[in-house]
């Protein structure tokens, strides 16, 4: 393989967004292979049979197949903006809540028709428990853990975005003004916009696509 790490990614996946944000904030370049979830490429399944994105394949053949580990690996290589200069236990606790309960309720809120046990509104209200935690943190600071961006912000932002985009009108009418502003700032942030660059799905024989391109 080329000397760059290789990232299997899916543009709209919040876990993959988190990994791409981590790579960008670390200033690293990777070979990017955009995938289609319904047709995962064989080389990806060979190195990571569990079949989820993101997957990062390192030049020494190590494979990192959890988004949080990719994020941590990237920032451990290089962290010019100090995303790890926070209470890492606090950050881990927030990421656990995000990936645990919040993701659980987010999926049900998003696909309420597939989960008729509760109404969509009830699912949303369960998800809001975490939104309230985030709103509380943002009361006196612009980012979740302080005055600068941390690993918690980039690890959580893609999921709050997904929650908001289930029904933007409802989200922006909820009583979480700090969180709404935080999300809005992220949606306009140049690094987030770069993380959302569109790529054609990778096929065997394609030329190497380097991310970010510049
Ligand atoms: N715990 C994993 C979860 C990754 C995950 O579930 N990704 C979804 C896409 S957002 C996936 O690949 N699902 C497999 C599928 O839909 O076939 C991580 O943090 O990387």
106 lines ligand 1 (CB under 6 A): no
Residues of the chain with CATH 1.20.1050.10: 88-189
Model confidence at 1: pLDDT above 70: no
Two structure tokens written together for 155:
């690890």
**What is the atom index within ligand 1 of the atom nearest the CA of 66?**
20
Quote the pLDDT of residue 214. 81
Q: Which CA distances in Å does 50 have to 45, 72, 143?
A: 7, 20, 34
**How many A from CA of 141 to the centre of ligand 1?**
31
Cβ 153 vs Cβ 144: under 8 Å: yes
130-137 average pLDDT score: 98
Determine which residue's CA is closest to atom 17 belonging to ligand 1.
Answer: 37
51 lines ligand 1 (CB under 6 A): yes
Two structure tokens written together for 69:
């580990």
**How many A from CA of 99 to the centre of ligand 1?**
11
Q: pLDDT by residue (tens digit) across 71-116?
A: 999 999 999 999 999 999 999 999 999 999 999 999 999 999 999 9
Determine which residue's CA is closest to atom 10 belonging to ligand 1.
Answer: 13
Model confidence at 34: pLDDT above 70: yes
Quote the pLDDT of residue 159. 99
Residue from 20, 34, 35, 53 to probe ligand 1 pocket by mutation (most atoms less than 8 Å from CB): 53
Quote the pLDDT of residue 91. 98
100 lines ligand 1 (CB under 6 A): no
**How many A from CA of 139 to the centre of ligand 1?**
32
88-189 maps to which CATH number? 1.20.1050.10
15 lines ligand 1 (CB under 6 A): yes
Model confidence at 119: pLDDT above 70: yes
Model confidence at 213: pLDDT above 80: yes
Cα separation of 20 and 93, whole Å? 21
Quote the pLDDT of residue 63. 98
Nearest to 16 by CA among 24, 25, 7: 7
Assigned architecture for domain 6-81+193-211: 3-Layer(aba) Sandwich (3.40)
Give one DSSP letter per residue of 95-161, joined into a string.
HHHIIIIIHHHHHHHHTGGG-TTS-HHHHHHHHHHHHHHHHHHGGGSSBTTBSS--HHHHHHHHHHH
Model confidence at 2: pLDDT above 80: no
Residues of the chain with CATH 3.40.30.10: 6-81+193-211
Q: pLDDT by residue (tens digit) across 143-172?
A: 999 999 999 999 999 999 999 999 999 999
């Amino acid at each position: 393989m080329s000397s760059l790490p290789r990232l299997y990614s899916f543009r709209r996946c919040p876990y993959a967004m988190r990994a791409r944000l981590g790579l960008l904030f670390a200033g690293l370049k990777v070979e990017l292979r955009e995938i289609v979830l319904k047709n995962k490429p064989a080389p990806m399944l060979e190195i990571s049979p569990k079949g989820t994105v993101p997957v990062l394949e390192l030049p020494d053949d190590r494979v990192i197949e959890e988004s949080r580990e990719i994020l941590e690996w990237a920032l451990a290589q290089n962290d010019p903006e100090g995303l790890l200069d926070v209470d890492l236990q606090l950050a881990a606790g927030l990421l656990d809540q995000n990936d645990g309960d919040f993701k659980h309720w987010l999926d049900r809120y998003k696909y309420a028709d597939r989960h008729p046990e509760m109404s969509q509104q009830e699912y949303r209200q369960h998800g809001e428990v975490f939104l309230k935690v985030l709103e509380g943190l943002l009361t006196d600071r612009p980012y979740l853990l302080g005055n600068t961006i941390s690993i918690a912000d980039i690890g959580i932002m893609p999921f709050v975005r997904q929650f908001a985009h289930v029904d933007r009108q409802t989200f922006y009418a909820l009583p979480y003004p700090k969180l709404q502003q935080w999300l809005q700032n992220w949606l306009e942030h140049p690094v987030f916009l770069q993380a959302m660059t569109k790529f054609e799905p990778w096929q065997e024989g394609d030329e190497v696509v380097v991310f970010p391109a510049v």
